[in-house]
Amino acid sequence: MEQTGESYTKTLRKLPAQASTSEEHHAVAELTDPNVLCGVRLTLTRAGASAKDSVEGVVISSVQSGTGDFRWRVALLSPFEGTQSGGVIEIADDNTWNLAPSLADVAAAAARHDGRCPDGRPWYQPDQVPGDVLATGPELHRMLLKPRLGQPPIATKKLHRQPDKLLYAIADAEPKQARTTAEERRWRRERTCANCGTTSTLTFSPAEDGKRYCEEHRADANRRTEQQRAEDTRVRASLKAREIVDDPDTVLVAMTWDRELQGYPFRMETFGGELVLERVLPYIAGAALLSTTVDDLPSWVSDSQNLACVGKRLIEAPEADPMGAFRKLLRAGGQVFADGDLTPRDADNLVGLYRAFIGPPDASAGHDMPTVNWKKSTRTAVDVIDGVRDVLREMAAVPLTDDEIKRAKRPNRVRRSKRYRFYESRRSILAIRQDDRRLAARIYNDATGHGAEQAKLGG
């Protein structure tokens, strides 16, 4: 018979219920290790008694005397002859008890390794574990018990797609040491709902705010935490906008398409409106420049004035990627500069800040995002920069209380897994990469598509 992985008791009950006396004594004689019966669930009936007087139990230990006789300690699954459920009785191999499955069946199944884990212990499915007799280590911990020093596991709990759990005899476990005052407070806090004060013998799962709630109040706590997180994100976006507005090195960059010039008007201004640089990028700046020669480039490409914005805080208008085209053109003309000299900071991405400020798109609206084509917009580069400046001023002008600022600056102290922290660190980047064009629809205000006016008004 092949190993099936089902519980030991279920496997044995499929075998013949009766065995001859010679077969049984032969099986017991071959059973040199009495502990092979540990963890087996048996039905015990006194010799000569009816089946209704039987009781079920689990063998938790066994001893072989010097004369070869066996004695087993059995933890009962129901009251029997004055012994409570979970209590222990001793039975001997003296024909006083009738066992089902018989000793021959147990020994034969053990020899074939039927219903046994790789370590030789009986296997129990999760719904077949006798909880009054056997328990895992964490379950003993919740009962304020622990395995005695040297107490071996007597069975194995088989789980689906999870490591198997060791099962110990509850009757042989010992009480844990008395908890300290701090441990007692923590023990009660883990088992008390932070909302209604309901207590439980099992620990409550923590919510998003790090506190523990019962099943009835955990969803509400997570909803409140999500709302507070969105508000804190909005406050942080407003603080970042204030920082950009107050920074004297802030430079606003925009690029549009001019059909008459057949080029890209490119403009840089300080936040106060002072002109830093103005160029017209040729049409090839929008291509890959793989086949472009130096003769195709404008004469101003090698001008040192092009690097006047190096070291400045660059804030790009959305969609057009003006600095990407500008860098590509300068490198094609032989200009030498570091990779980060003409690159905006990731934290200053205006699309991400605006998304954090007005919140993510309404899920009920589906994917009906405004359609924007910045090349077809009639707005000039000056108009686009004015639109960017208005957005930053609007974000920075939001009144904030000291408590809101303090909460927004406070780091998240909830302990989380490495996987969560990884995705949390990428949340802003993933939000920027999403097709959120509400800011572009507001700046290039002649965009077409349903919802463009709402985006122009800030949501």
Nearest to 317 by CA among 445, 231, 426: 445
> How far is the C-alpha of 239 from the C-alpha of 236, rounded, in Å?
5
Mean pLDDT (whole number) for 20-42: 61
Q: How many CB atoms sit inside 10 A of residue 231's CB?
A: 14
Sign of CA dihedral 302, 342, 292, 320: negative
pLDDT bin (cut points 50, 70, 90) of residue 325 is confident
> What is the structure's pLDDT at 451?
39
Sign of CA dihedral 255, 258, 264, 267: negative
> What is the structure's pLDDT at 245?
93
DSSP-derived secondary structure letter, 384: H
- Is the pLDDT at 289 greater than 80? The verdict is no
Residue whose tokens read 């909005």: 234
- In this structure, the answer to whether residues 158 and 294 fall within a common structural domain is no
103 is written with which tokens? 């000793």
Q: Domain end: 176, 206, 227, which one?
A: 176
Residues present in the chain in total: 459
pLDDT bin (cut points 50, 70, 90) of residue 240 is very high
Mean pLDDT (whole number) for 147-174: 91
Q: How many CB atoms sit inside 10 A of residue 345's CB?
A: 10
- Is the pLDDT at 288 greater than 50? The verdict is no
- Is the pLDDT at 24 greater than 50? The verdict is no
Q: What is the mean pLDDT of the chain?
A: 80
Domain count, the chain: 2
> What is the structure's pLDDT at 426?
54
Q: Are 19 and 129 in contact (CB under 8 A)?
A: no
Residue 235 lies in a domain: no
Residue 188 lies in a domain: no
pTM: 0.57
- In this structure, the answer to whether residues 153 and 289 fall within a common structural domain is no
Q: CA dist 216 to 184, 189, 190, 194, 203, Å?
A: 25, 17, 16, 12, 14
Q: CA dist 245 to 272, 274, 337, 385, Å?
A: 9, 14, 27, 13
Mean pLDDT (whole number) for 24-48: 70
Q: Are 77 and 56 in contact (CB under 8 A)?
A: yes
pLDDT bin (cut points 50, 70, 90) of residue 366 is very low
Find the domain containing 446 and state its range.
250-456
> What is the structure's pLDDT at 261?
83
Q: Domain end: 119, 153, 176, which one?
A: 176
- In this structure, the answer to whether residues 147 and 5 fall within a common structural domain is yes
Q: Domain end: 111, 142, 176, which one?
A: 176
